[in-house]
Homo-oligomer: A and B are copies of this chain.
Amino acid sequence: MQWLNINDAGFEGAFRKIVNDRRDGDANVTRQVDTILSDVRARGDAALSELTARFDNHTLSSDTDWAISAEECKAAFDGLDADLRDALTLAATRIRTYHEAQLPEDRDYTDADGVRLGARWHPVDAAGLYVPGGRAAYPSSLLMNAIPAKVAGVKRLAVVTPTPKGVVNPLVLAAAHLAGISEIWRVGGAQAVGALAYGTERIKRVDVITGPGNAWVAEAKRQLYGVVGIDMVAGPSEILVIADGQNNPEWIAADLLSQAEHDPNAQSILITDDAGFARQVEDQVDVQSAMLATKNVAQKSWQDHGVIIQVDDIAQSIDLANDLAAEHVELAVDNPQPLFDGIRHAGSIFIGRYAPEAVGDYVAGPNHVLPTGRRARFASGLSVLDFMKRSSFIELDEAALKAIGPAAATLAHAEGLPAHAISIESRLK
């Protein structure tokens, strides 16, 4: 953990280093993924089988080796404890409600020159959702990816998820049932992403691939961007907590640890104007992390990437937050609105002392798939729009073409594109 004071001589350099630090990326992964994708593209299911045997220790031969049925998902859902089933259902309902309001509106109007103009939105035909297996098998991620796609109106949703040694995660299956998924393939890694993008004998090609994964999955999506649409290049998780001295240090320590426990490369940053409070939080992080089942990951993350930044005035945190462009930003102060109004770059903002980030991971409603690695400078969280696209349109009659066509022909001539000009002028002869 690093402790910085905004008044220290070296502050600007140390802070800049944190902003520019890339906690992801590895040239080896790039090459390995390139090889895997070429193999899946060339040999389809045969390559998938070999790679799944090698990486997941799972043999793909019978149909049930390949796929999980809707009946198995329903059985998993029915078999859940009631409180877990209720929690999952509450999450699905709140996520659906929030995302339904994201549906874009078509435009269709005729302007003063008689030109009909507009734009129509359509869902993609098919979306592929990556759901991690093993340690990080999160039913919440399945809901966060599947529900926006369903709300967008996507007809076909294909889930891929690795089942190491054949083991499936019943919570993920239950979430798939709740989200109305009926196509689940037991493959993972870069090879699963390649299968979704190129298609194989068994797995039909999709148009968009979303969902979290490890470095190989993220790199596969990056390499296939353009062949398919993808949600984002995802990196390790991060949280920035802006807190005055009036918070309970236990709460803030838990918030910092809730990101740290995700990944040894996750980053938790506290900005506060109260050094005594910061020291209490630091102590609490040590006390709490020692008791966590996720202790090894959480402690490593905090040790390697944790930061406490001490400022004179909490208002100074606005500029720092905009430079950090963090995935999650908490505003644990009495009057959070001015801070909220000043923060332009953040994936998601948690306002007030009773809004721990974890609520947003599960049940608040907004998507928990958010831009990491300072990408909130230019990227947004996952939404219904990631599963839709827009066609613009133009309709002209002879009078409308007479009104605006000559200017277009003039520009076409000036750009040295005579056929462009002829296509207009021949209609106006």
Which A residues fall within an 8 A CB radius of B? 83-84, 86-88, 90-91, 94, 97-98, 101, 107, 111, 115-117, 119, 122, 124-125, 135, 137-140, 171, 207-208, 222, 225-226, 228-229, 232-233, 248, 250-251, 254-255, 257-258, 260-262, 288-289, 292-294, 298, 336, 340, 343-367, 370-371, 375-381, 383, 385, 389-398, 400-401, 404-412, 414-424, 426-427
Contact = CB atoms under 8 A, between A and B. Distances in A.
B389 A380 contact: yes
A117 B171 contact: no
A99 to B, nearest CB: 11
A427 B356 contact: yes
Given A254-B419, A292-B418, A364-B117, A351 B395 contact: yes
A117 B91 contact: no
A292 B363 contact: no
Contact of A396 (B140, B352, B427): B352
Contacts of A258: 417, 419-420, 422-423
A376 B351 contact: no
What copy number does this chain have within its complex?
2
Nearest to A410: B87
Contacts of A251: 423, 426-427
Given A225-B222, A422-B254, A394 B366 contact: yes
Contact of A117 (B124, B248, B366): B366
Contact of A394 (B348, B385, B410): B348
Contacts of A361: 408, 412, 420
A393 B351 contact: yes
Nearest to A399: B354
Given A122-B345, A380-B390, 9 more contacts: A87-B411, A88-B411, A98-B117, A137-B415, A225-B233, A344-B391, A348-B392, A356-B427, A358-B408
A149 B336 CA distance: 30
A356 B423 contact: yes
A86 B409 CA distance: 12
Given A117-B365, A233-B226, A366-B117, A426 B254 contact: yes
A294 B418 contact: yes
Contacts of A116: 351
Interface centre among A222, A292, A293, A419 (most CB of B within 10 A): A419
Contacts of A357: 423
A255 B419 CA distance: 7
Contact of A340 (B207, B254, B393, B404): B393
A86 B404 CA distance: 11
Nearest to A107: B101
B139 A411 contact: yes
Contact of A352 (B207, B360, B395): B395
Contacts of A262: 417
B349 A392 contact: yes
A407 to B, nearest CB: 4
A359 B401 contact: yes
A248 B288 contact: no
Nearest to A117: B365
A115 B93 CA distance: 14
B233 A222 contact: no
A40 B365 CA distance: 43
A220 to B, nearest CB: 13
